[in-house]
Amino acid sequence: MASSKAIEDSTPPASEPTAINPAASLFHALGDRSRLLILQHLQLGEHKVADLTEHLGLSQSTVSKHLACLRECGLVDFRPEGRASVYSLSHPGAVLELLASAEKVLALTGDAVTLCQLRD
């Protein structure tokens, strides 16, 4: 039987919940299908909102809303080009690694992730 000291040692410090907030925000940003589609498409290179709406079949307001979220998370950058903005991945290598890692986890867990969504 574990001693009470061992149980106390395994308890996370009080500050830990706030330390995980940035990771929770990142995964929240990645938790939307449209945002994942945008990130995957931006792996191909820079795109304007109009290009993304055409390629992904999403409305302009939807794309703009999701790009704003991705910008706030530091995943997407933009630069002005005439009257439009051109969007690109802020850290293409890191985003590619993250999405590849997610695919590995999905391959390992199979339907478990899908079933997990049903309980939320």
- Check which CATH number belongs to the domain holding 38 and give it: 1.10.10.10
Range of the domain at 66: 22-91
Contact 63, 56 (CB under 8 A): yes
Question: Is 42 within the bounds of a domain?
Answer: yes
Question: What pLDDT does 2 receive?
Answer: 46
Of residues 37 and 106, more confidence is placed in: 37
Q: What is the pTM of this model?
A: 0.76
Residue 20, pLDDT above cutoff 80: yes
